[in-house]
Structure 1
């Protein structure tokens, strides 16, 4: 027997002149095996650093104890917290998480889903790309018997359980705060028209204005396609140079809001005295940037934990696979970028 390769059950059986099944049962202290044989096998296994072949064991169980996780971006603060929550929840239940990103591109998402299927994951967690609509590639996983949980960015055309935040309420609270601080002309740099969570945030924005009897100007709504800092900068420029400039801007994400802040600083526009800025996601950068950026906290870590636990409960037959939606409430984090009247908050 060579020590250069991994020791197998067959090696143990051969060296001790016993059957493979006896060696296997001895390692598990099976009652049908004598104490002497159990001791002999375990001592030999320990001496030669035997490690059980988990893949073979899991194959017999028709499980890999791996779950897939696909997000639009790995470096995005919100999704990185989701990933951390999912990994920690899975680890507690002895599952591994295989992570991939779609780059918010449909073709990359299709490739990631195919890779997950080829890797024999037991199930999948996914936040869909901005380009995903009907999701036939996701339906293929479901047809192959792999349960799927959608989270954050979802499609109602894909019949799966879902974990989302209350985007409508989060936006409504954000815009209501701006109104309470004395802002009267509030713009919205929103997400893409075909993305559900972007539509919910836009709906919350309009409803808050409507309920408080404030003006709504369609020119104050700008639609992002890339959802990045540059778009925030460019749209802030358009808004302030327009015929009816706003006095506050509610942004689809903190990244877009950072672009707005950059433009306002370049133009020496006082924040929050003359212009309020409010984001969504509560990135770590929102605390560090000056002035501190008010934002809506989506609780990404808790979302990741919740989605992973839901999937594993389905895999362990603790929970039925039904098309249900679990909604997580948001928190408004108020910082200096909107605190025009500190006594009112």
Structure 2
């Protein structure tokens, strides 16, 4: 008998001159099979490195034990922590996670979804791209009876459960902290107008100003398209060279905030004495830059874990899929970029 290809149940049956069903049941130590036959089959299987065909078993169960996970960016610190949380949770229940990225483009997201669907994943976890609106490619999963959980960046046009952070509260707390530190003219470099979490952060920013009776200048609000470091740099330059420059900037993400810090250092602005900066996401880079970047922690690991747990609960129990929204709380991580007064460090 050749050892060059994977051993099958049929191979074992032919070698031992017994039926395939007997081999299958013997490998499972079925009580109807004689002890001697079980011993013979298992010894032969072990000797010849037999590995069960998981795909065939799962096919009979109508499950692949694979979950699809699509994020805008794999290298983004927040999304990498989401992925870790989802994988750790899935592993505990015997599921694999197939990860793909959309590059924040609708076209790439459609391709990723079609690939996941063709791979027969049992369900999908997705943070939609900035360009996604209708989401017909995501509805295709639902049409096939496969559950979908949206997280972080979501669309209300898709009738699925959602796991998000309280973006409004996170922004409100960040701007309130800046006010407590004595900043009175606070700008906001925000995300796209059509993206829900960007809108919630913008609302939190404006509400904090209103509640504390501070000036709101529409010219202090700049809208990102790419949400990158260069936009932070360019918008900081615009703001600081305007007729009414701000004394603090609240940014949609830490990456944008890093661009702001870069420009302020170039023009020798003292941080935080002359200008405060606050980010959102709590990247690892926020700890490394000097001064450290204050940021809103979104708890990415917890988000990934929660989303995966929701999906697996449905897959395992087939309970009614209630399209609720689970909202996780944020925390402020205060560092040197906004800390004028030491007694306000713990928030």
Structure 1 segment 219-258 matched on structure 2, within 5 A: 219-258=219-258
Paired residue for 1:308? 308
Question: Where in structure 2 are there 5+ consecutive unaligned residues?
Answer: none
Equivalent position of 2:107 in the other structure: 107
1:70 aligns with 2:78: no
d(CA) in 2 for partners of 1:287, 1:37: 63
Within a 5 Å distance, the mapping from 1:72-91 to structure 2 comes to 72-91=72-91
Partner Cα separation in structure 2 for residue 342 and residue 246 of structure 1 = 22
Aligned-residue Cα RMSD (Å) equals 0.7
Alignment of 1:207-286 (within 5 A): 207-286=207-286
> What secondary structure does 1:279 align onto?
strand
Give the distance between the partners of 1:322 and 1:266, measured in 2 at CA.
52
Q: Which residue of 2 aligns with 1:205?
A: 205
Residues 140-194 of structure 1, C-alpha deviation per residue, up to 9 Å, x if partnerless?
1110111000000000000000000000000000000000000000000000000
**Does residue 1:31 correspond to 2:31, yes or no?**
yes
Shift of the alpha carbon at 1:234?
0.2
The residue number in structure 1 matching 2:12 is: 12
User: Which consecutive segments of 4 or more residues in structure 1 shift more than 4 A?
Assistant: none
Q: CA deviation at 1:342?
A: 1.4
**Which residue in the other structure is 2:147 paired with?**
147
- Runs of at least 5 residues in structure 1 that lack an aligned partner in the other structure: none
Whether 1:125 aligns to 2:125 is yes
**Residues 87-121 of structure 1: CA distance to partner in whole angstroms, max 9, x if unpaired?**
11111110000000000000110010000000000
Alignment of 1:292-303 (within 5 A): 292-303=292-303
Following superposition of structure 1 onto structure 2, how do residues 119-198 of structure 1 map, counting pairs within 5 Å?
A: 119-198=119-198
Aligned mates of 2:319, 2:342 — CA distance in 1: 47
Q: Which moved more, 1:178-187 or 1:311-320?
A: 311-320
Superposition deviation, residue 320 in structure 1: 2.5
Using the TM superposition, give the Cα deviation of residue 321 of structure 1 relative to its aligned residue in structure 2, in angstroms. 1.1
Shift of 1:124: 0.3
TM-score by length of 1: 0.99
Task: Write the distance in 1 (CA, Å) between the matches of 2:190 and 2:11.
Answer: 63
Distance in 2 between the 1:340 and 1:31 partners? Answer: 74
- 1:280 alignment partner, SS class: strand
1:343: how far off? 2.1
Question: Hey, what's the Cα distance between the residues in 2 that align with 1:106 and 1:215?
Answer: 37
SS at match of 2:225: coil
Inter-partner Cα distance in structure 2 for 1:54 and 1:318: 22
Counterpart Cα distance in 2 of 1:199 and 1:63? 38
Matched residues in 2 for 1:327 and 1:251: separation?
21
**What does the per-residue CA deviation read over 1:260-283, in whole Å, with 9 as the maximum and x for residues that have no partner?**
000000000000000000000000
User: Paired residue for 1:61?
Assistant: 61
How far apart, in 2, do the equivalents of 1:187 and 1:234 lie? 14
